[in-house]
Amino acid sequence: MRDHYQDAAIDIGSSGVLDYSLKEVRERCGITTADLDQVVFRDSPCLGREDLREAIASRWGTGDPRRVMTTHGGSEAIYTALSVLLEPGDQVIALAPAYHSHVSVAESIGCDVLRWRLREEDGFRPRLEDLEALVTARTKAIVVNFPHNPTGTTLSEKQLHRLLDITASAGAYLIWDAAFSDLVYAGDPLPDPGRFYPRTVSVGTFSKSMGLPGLRFGWCIAEPEVLSAMTVLRDCVTLSLSPLTELIALCVVENADSFIQPRLTAAAANRKLLIEWARQHGDVVDLPVPMGGVTAFPALGVNEDTRAICRRLGEAHRVLLIPGMAFDHPRRVRLGFGGDAEALREGLKVLARELAG
């Protein structure tokens, strides 16, 4: 990502949708220059401006703004929540494969991190009995991401409630990374688990389904005492968000469907394109069909490690594709299909030529 993200001509490795411009944001939200001129660059409240927290609570949370904190993307929420909830020696269970901070933050604290492994032979569909076998009285937190990055798998609502029962049996915290919650291809998005289980810490972000990663805006929904502890830590680092960021964020939340729906429609079409491409190249591509999100995790018929082919794609063709070694599955790649359809089509053509040798 560091080597090729900024200069890639074709990006089929990232985990978000096509980015919006400031012009598009202003047009969709009706933000005028007069609105911008009213912004005064004082510090924002440490939990975030009240009307923004109310809007987030109403759309994604329990309706209670006291349980909402705005953050610098989802990453700050994950880091600060885990940092205040965990202590050295605590047992943590995280999905595997996993987004890096779901594991690395707990490991840096000195926790004993167990892996709830999604099985390749199941197409990475989660087995709740595998999680249940890992949980003990020492389990302090269970960290999950559904729809999942990188595989695109997810839970049914029935499975979600079983997950909550398993978490409650240990009195553990559920860290629920909902970065892709609005990007599902059948049925409705899963409800926020905090509606049913108070010891939930839910994380949201504009970086995925909203197409606004550069705004660096996210949020955390949790018990007020957890948020209070998180603000003490953040006082040492970032203090608060910019009032300009929060103004734009409020307008986006109030018009969320106008941002999500066009990108979800495009991603659904791209998903069909990807499935058909994988079918045509079934001799060298094994694709577990993603149920949500905009990433897939196919295995490629190239020896035992995809790093070499990803490097060739980046250096020779300026195509970004992420090797599965980053997720401890060296034969696979993270393939993002949330961007421009023509770029995806061309990237898949280049990849197919490389696979053909």
Q: Is residue 24 part of a domain?
A: no
pLDDT value, residue 147: 98
**What proportion of the chain, given as a percentage, has pLDDT over 90?**
96
E-strand ranges in the chain read 10-11, 68-71, 91-96, 112-117, 139-145, 173-177, 200-205, 218-221, 285-286, 295-296, 299-300, 319-320, 322-323, 333-336
Q: What's the token pair of residue 67?
A: 């349980």
Q: Are residues 102 and 186 in the same domain?
A: yes
Q: Are residues 217 and 284 in the same domain?
A: no
Q: Are residues 249 and 138 in the same domain?
A: yes
Q: Which residue has tokens 């993200």?
A: 5
Q: Is residue 28 part of a domain?
A: no
Q: What's the token pair of residue 53?
A: 């927290």
Q: Is the CB of residue 337 less than 8 Å from the CB of residue 295?
A: yes
In degrees rounded to 5, what are phi and psi of residue 315? -80, -40
pLDDT value, residue 163: 98
The boundaries of the domain holding residue 46 are: 38-254
- Look at residues 254, 278, 303 and tell me which one is the last residue of a structural domain: 254
Q: Are residues 210 and 294 in the same domain?
A: no
Q: Is residue 32 part of a domain?
A: no
Q: What are the tens digits of pLDDT across the range 141-192?
A: 999 999 999 999 999 999 999 999 999 999 999 999 999 999 999 999 999 9
Q: Are residues 246 and 105 in the same domain?
A: yes
pLDDT value, residue 1: 64
Q: Are residues 129 and 169 in the same domain?
A: yes
**Amino acid at residue number 189:** P
Q: Are residues 182 and 311 in the same domain?
A: no
Q: Are residues 220 and 266 in the same domain?
A: no
pTM for the full predicted model:
0.95
Q: What are the tens digits of pLDDT across the range 338-348?
A: 999 999 999 99
Q: Are residues 227 and 89 in the same domain?
A: yes
Q: Read off the CATH number of the domain in which 138 is found.
A: 3.40.640.10
Q: Is residue 146 part of a domain?
A: yes
What span, in angstroms and rounded, lies between the C-alpha atoms of 293 and 342? 19
pLDDT value, residue 256: 98
Q: Are residues 187 and 114 in the same domain?
A: yes
Distance from CA of residue 278 to its chain's centroid?
24
Q: Read off the CATH number of the domain in which 346 is found.
A: 3.90.1150.10
- Please enumerate in sequence order all residues whose Cβ is within 8 A of that of 50, keeping only pairs 6 or more positions apart, or say none: 65
What span, in angstroms and rounded, lies between the C-alpha atoms of 95 and 72? 23
Q: Is residue 2 part of a domain?
A: no
Q: Give the residue among 101, 97, 120 at the shortest CA–CA distance from 322.
A: 97
Determine whether 277 is exposed, middle or buried from the number of CB atoms within 10 Å of its CB (0-12, 13-18, 19+): buried
- Look at residues 221, 254, 287 and tell me which one is the last residue of a structural domain: 254
Q: Which residue has tokens 């923004």?
A: 52
Q: Does residue 4 register a pLDDT over 80?
A: no
- Look at residues 239, 254, 269 and tell me which one is the last residue of a structural domain: 254
pLDDT value, residue 2: 65
